[in-house]
Structure 1
Amino acid sequence: MSRYFHYHVIYVGMINIMLFVPWILIQHRFHGSIASIALVIPLCTLGAYVAIALFGRFPGMGLPEILLGNMPRWLSLPLLFFTAFFWFVAGMLVIYSYSATIQQFFNPDMNPYLFTGLMIAASIWGASRCTRSVQFAMEIILILSAPLIIAILLKALFNKWLDWDAIRVVAGYVRTKPSFISFSAASLVFAGHNTLVVFNRMMPAPSRIRRRWIIPLFCTFFLLVSVFIPIGFHGTVGVSHYIYLWSVTADSMVLEYGFVSRVLYIFLLLYTALSLLFAMNTWHTAMEVVKSMRPGHKPLTEEFPVKPANWWINVVFGAMTIAYGIWANERRNEWVSHGWLNVRLLSDVLTVSLLALFVFRASRSGHRNGKSGGDGATADS
């Protein structure tokens, strides 16, 4: 079962390449983003290892069951509501941002809500499935798309037009004081372990997540590639002139022996599947957290047929995404994305702190019970 956990780590790392993370880091490339990257790699790797170990102390339980079982209901419900909203916003931002990218590069005259509506409909259907079905779908999509995406990234890395001097110049700003927004953006690449909020239900007691070295290896690769390859293609100054950074970078490459010469079309097609995968997982997580707030709810990893509540909750998510698309523009979306990144980092710290508190409290309680039991046995003898 641990392979499904690593699927989450890999697709979250890859999806950031097409989102706002590289753009934010490159905008701050002379003002702390390089130092932030250097700090994120060891700190977020350690944070991921700690979070995995803490979730492992609650086998077969998601974050809703952990909070409800260790905190008063009046305190755990607001935290669960915030968690559900936080995960919903993640999927909403991906759908909005990628829909805008598709419109710009495929058909600028297309109705802006057409592709958004199609992505929302696909996300509603996928997210409303049971947890086990979502994991199976994730495995199929990732196996089909990840090798091609990594091949394109490697092609860019060994491209003869990549200017390594520009990369070295920007990397030299590693001594510049890091900024909080740069650190928050870079840490998102390492956020794949957060899916244990719900998918830890699929990890029974005997199982253990192995090969954790995949986290620093793949996430560091995706983080460095997403920032430095556009700099190598467009220069230290020119790289800041692009909004759709990686789409332009992909369009700078050609497939010499492919049936489609422009890498951009294949790249966007692959990331369409990856964006739907991300939205499906985030909305499914938000849906499960919302359902757990109902008194007496018993989480199920397998449901057939799925309950009507699954559909209604995701339909609400879709309607809210359409409303956001009507309200948002590039500036507003940037503002919301920055706020979401900062809140996400703080929520990660809060989640790990609460889990550590619960584990510490349980260990102290077990120690006391064991000590009292030993005293009782001595007295009886």
Structure 2
Amino acid sequence: MSRYFHYHVMYVGMINIMLFVPWILIQHRFNGSISSIALVIPVCTVLSYIAIALFRRFPGMGLPEILLGNTPRAFALLIIFLTAIFWFAAGMLVIYAYAATIQQFFNPDMNPYLFSGLMVVASIWGSSRCTRSVQFTTEIVLLLSAPLIIAILLKALFNRWLDWNAIRVVAGYVRTKPSLISFSAASLVFAGHNTLVVFNRMMPPSAKIRNRWIIPLFCTFFLLVSVFVPIGFHGTVGVSHYIYIWSITADSMVLEYGFVSRVLYIFLLLYTALSLLFAMNTWHTAMELLKSLRKGHKPVVEEYPVKAVNWWINIAFGAAAVGYGMWANERRNEWVSQSWLNIRLFSDIAIVSLLAWLAFRSSRSGYRARASDGGGTSADS
């Protein structure tokens, strides 16, 4: 079962390109992003390990069941609702960013709502499936796309046009003071453990998440490559002139022996699958959180056919995503994305802290119960 958890770690780490994480870090490359990256790696690795250990203290339970069973109902409902909004916003931002990227690089004259509408429809269908189906779909899509994405990254890393001097110059700013937005953006790459808020339901008590060393290894690799490779291709100054920085970087490479010479086309095709995968998982998580607000709701990880409420919730998500696409532009989306990244960091820390308090309280209650039983036995004897 642990491999499914690592799938979530991988696609969350790779999707940061569509949430403008490299762009934000590159914009602050001289005033805090490099030191933020150096700080994020150990801090978020420890945070991920702690979050995993805490969720495993409640096997087979998602965040709603943990909160509803251990905190006042009003408080639990508020936290669950806010968490659901956060998860929905994540998928919405990726859909908007990827639709804008496709329009810019494939057909600028295309109706701006055509491709985003298609992605919304696909996301509605995928996220309305049961949790087990979403889990299996994640495995299939990731096994097909991740090796090719990693191959493209390695091709960029060993490209002869990569200027390592530019990378060394920017890396020298590691002594600058970290900034909040840079730390928030970089920490997203390590946020795969957050998917346990729902997918922990599929972890039986006997299951163990093994090979946790994959988290810092993979996330550090993808974070460093996604930031420093564009700098090596476009220079320390020229790299800041682009918004869709990784699409431009992919278009700087060619496949000498491929049937498609421009890497950009393959890159965007792969990120179509990855963006839909991310939207499917985030909206499914938001849907499950919202369903748990109903009193008496019992979570089910496998059901066929799915209930009508799944469709209605995700149709509402799709309508909100279309409305956001009509309202947003590049500047507004940049502001929303940065605000979301900051909120995500603090909410992650808050949820981990809350789970730590609940785990500590339950352990103390168990200790007191055992002490009471022991004392009673001693007195009887």
- TM-score norm. by structure 2 comes to 1.00
Separation (CA, whole Å) in 2 of partners of 1:205 and 1:166? 50
The aligned counterpart of 1:221 is 221
2:330 is equivalent to residue 330 of structure 1: yes
In the alignment, residue 330 of structure 2 is paired with which amino acid?
E
Aligned pair count?
Answer: 381
Instruction: State the shift of 1:187 in Å.
Output: 0.1
Separation (CA, whole Å) in 1 of partners of 2:195 and 2:26? 27
Instruction: State the shift of 1:229 in Å.
Output: 0.1
In the alignment, residue 264 of structure 1 is paired with which amino acid?
L
In the alignment, residue 40 of structure 2 is paired with which amino acid?
V
Separation (CA, whole Å) in 2 of partners of 1:378 and 1:66? 34
Separation (CA, whole Å) in 2 of partners of 1:329 and 1:248? 20
Provide Cα deviations, 1:77-101, integer angstroms capped at 9, x if missing partner: 1111100000000000000000000
Deviates more, 1:232-241 or 1:367-376: 367-376
Provide Cα deviations, 1:5-27, integer angstroms capped at 9, x if missing partner: 00000111111134310000000
Provide Cα deviations, 1:101-128, integer angstroms capped at 9, x if missing partner: 0011011110000000000000000000
The aligned counterpart of 2:102 is 102
The aligned counterpart of 2:303 is 303
Divergent runs of 4+, >2 A: none
Instruction: State the shift of 1:257 in Å.
Output: 0.1
What is the correspondence of 1:123-162 to structure 2 with a 5 Å cutoff?
123-162=123-162
The aligned counterpart of 2:286 is 286
Instruction: State the shift of 1:2 in Å.
Output: 0.5
CA contact (8 A) 1:18 1:246 kept: no
3-state SS of 1:112 partner: coil
The aligned counterpart of 2:34 is 34
CA contact (8 A) 1:188 1:341 kept: yes
Provide Cα deviations, 1:13-69, integer angstroms capped at 9, x if missing partner: 111134310000000000000000000000000000000000000000000000100
CA contact (8 A) 1:26 1:227 kept: yes
What is the correspondence of 1:1-381 to structure 2 with a 5 Å cutoff?
1-381=1-381
In the alignment, residue 339 of structure 1 is paired with which amino acid?
S
Instruction: State the shift of 1:74 in Å.
Output: 1.0
Separation (CA, whole Å) in 1 of partners of 2:347 and 2:166? 36
In the alignment, residue 345 of structure 2 is paired with which amino acid?
L
In the alignment, residue 270 of structure 2 is paired with which amino acid?
L
Separation (CA, whole Å) in 2 of partners of 1:363 and 1:193? 23
In the alignment, residue 8 of structure 1 is paired with which amino acid?
H
In the alignment, residue 354 of structure 1 is paired with which amino acid?
L
Separation (CA, whole Å) in 2 of partners of 1:30 and 1:282? 33
In the alignment, residue 16 of structure 2 is paired with which amino acid?
N
Instruction: State the shift of 1:380 in Å.
Output: 0.7
Separation (CA, whole Å) in 1 of partners of 2:153 and 2:18? 12
In the alignment, residue 341 of structure 1 is paired with which amino acid?
L
CA contact (8 A) 1:251 1:263 kept: yes
3-state SS of 2:109 partner: coil
Provide Cα deviations, 1:223-247, integer angstroms capped at 9, x if missing partner: 0000000000000000000011000
In the alignment, residue 230 of structure 1 is paired with which amino acid?
P
- TM-score norm. by structure 1 comes to 1.00
In the alignment, residue 137 of structure 1 is paired with which amino acid?
T
Provide Cα deviations, 1:312-357, integer angstroms capped at 9, x if missing partner: 0000000000110111000000010011000000000110011000
CA contact (8 A) 1:17 1:222 kept: no
Provide Cα deviations, 1:205-263, integer angstroms capped at 9, x if missing partner: 00010000000000000000000000000000000000110000000000000000000
CA contact (8 A) 2:103 2:112 kept: yes
CA contact (8 A) 1:283 1:314 kept: yes
Instruction: State the shift of 1:71 in Å.
Output: 0.7
CA contact (8 A) 1:291 1:297 kept: yes
In the alignment, residue 317 of structure 1 is paired with which amino acid?
F
Separation (CA, whole Å) in 2 of partners of 1:95 and 1:10? 19
3-state SS of 1:288 partner: helix
Provide Cα deviations, 1:344-376, integer angstroms capped at 9, x if missing partner: 000001100110001100011111111111110
CA contact (8 A) 2:19 2:337 kept: no
In the alignment, residue 333 of structure 2 is paired with which amino acid?
N
In the alignment, residue 20 of structure 2 is paired with which amino acid?
F
3-state SS of 1:212 partner: coil
CA contact (8 A) 2:59 2:203 kept: yes
Provide Cα deviations, 1:255-287, integer angstroms capped at 9, x if missing partner: 000000000000000000000000000000000
In the alignment, residue 311 of structure 1 is paired with which amino acid?
W
3-state SS of 2:159 partner: coil
What percent of counterpart residues are identical?
A: 80
Separation (CA, whole Å) in 2 of partners of 1:344 and 1:271? 22
3-state SS of 2:113 partner: helix
Provide Cα deviations, 1:136-155, integer angstroms capped at 9, x if missing partner: 00000000000000000000
Deviates more, 1:31-40 or 1:366-375: 366-375
In the alignment, residue 282 of structure 2 is paired with which amino acid?
T
